[in-house]
Amino acid sequence: MLAVDGPLDAEEVRSFVARGFVALRGAFPAELAAECRAHLWDRLDADPDDPETWASPVLRLPSQHGEPFRRAANTAGLHAAFDQLVGPGRWVAHPFLSGSIAVRFPVAGDPGDDGWHVDGSFELDGTYGLNLRSDGRSLLMLFLFSDVGADDAPTRLRVGSHLDVPAALAGAGEGGRRFDDVVGRLPNVHEGRLALATGRAGDVYLCHPFLVHAAQRHRGRSPRLLAQPGLLFDGRLELERADGAYSPVEEAVRVGLGHG
C-alpha cells in the first residue's frame, strides 16, 4: 500500500482495509459543526427544541453550498486522510458539501429508508449503480453534525462487507449493477458483524465505497443531523498497477477478488 503521512496511523489504515471504515475523530471543529447545524435548522420546517414540530422520522436537505459546509468538507486533516486512503492526486476536493443531509427525529413511524445497501455512484436504469472500478466515488463519508449515541439512529455498518462486493460486481463489466441488486448477491451479509457510526459532532467516518450499510429508527431524545457525501476519484480505481502502489481502497478490492 502507499506509504503516506497523515492523521491515521498504520493500524487504522490496515483496519480500513479489513473492516471497511475508519473514524476520523474531530475531523472538523465542534464549533463549525454548530455553525452548520444553525444553517440547517434555518432551512427546516422544524424546531430542534420543540418536539411538537417533529412531524416525520426523517427529513432530507440537498447539498449545501454555504461557506461553513465548504470549510467542514475541506479541513487539512480530511485532505491528509484522503491522501492516505485514496492516494495523493487520486481524489477531487469538494468545493461544497455534496449529497443529501438526513435529519432523523425520535418519533414513531417507519422511516422507509433503513434497508441494507451499497451506495450507487452513477445513474443506471433510472436509479443508481456501481461497478468494480467504483466510477464516481472513491470514499463514502459520514459527517456527524450532531452528537450521535447508540440510540440516536447511528448508521449501521456491516464490518468487512466491502470485501464481498467485488466478486458480486466482477461479472457485471463496466456497466455495473444497480445498487439494489448487490446485497442479495453477498454471502451471509445479514449475519456479518455490526458496527455503529457513533461519535461527537465534527467526527467523520471514512468508508470504503463498497461498504454495506443501513439507516435505522431514532430511539433517542434529540434530532440527529448527518451528511453522507461521496469523494470523487481523479481518474478511477486501478487494480493492476505496474509499480504496485495500490491505495488502501484499491487494496481492499484486490483482497476481495483474491489478489491481495
> Which residue has cell 460486481?
169
Q: Which tens digit of pLDDT belongs to each residue from 121-158?
A: 999 999 999 999 999 999 999 999 999 999 999 999 99
- Global pTM value: 0.97
CATH of range 10-256; options 3.10.20.580, 2.60.120.620, 3.30.365.10, 3.30.565.10: 2.60.120.620
Nearest one of 44, 78, 14, 100 to 206, comparing CA atoms: 78
Q: Are 175 and 5 in contact (CB under 8 A)?
A: no
Residues 6+ apart with CB under 8 A from 240: none
pLDDT confidence band for 260 (50 / 70 / 90): low
* Model confidence at 191: pLDDT above 90: no
- Report the C-alpha dihedral over residues 62, 65, 69, 72, rounded to 10 degrees: 110
Alpha-carbon separation of residue 254 from 101, 164, 166 (angstroms): 32, 11, 8
* Model confidence at 3: pLDDT above 80: no
Please tell me the predicted confidence (pLDDT) of residue 96.
Answer: 87
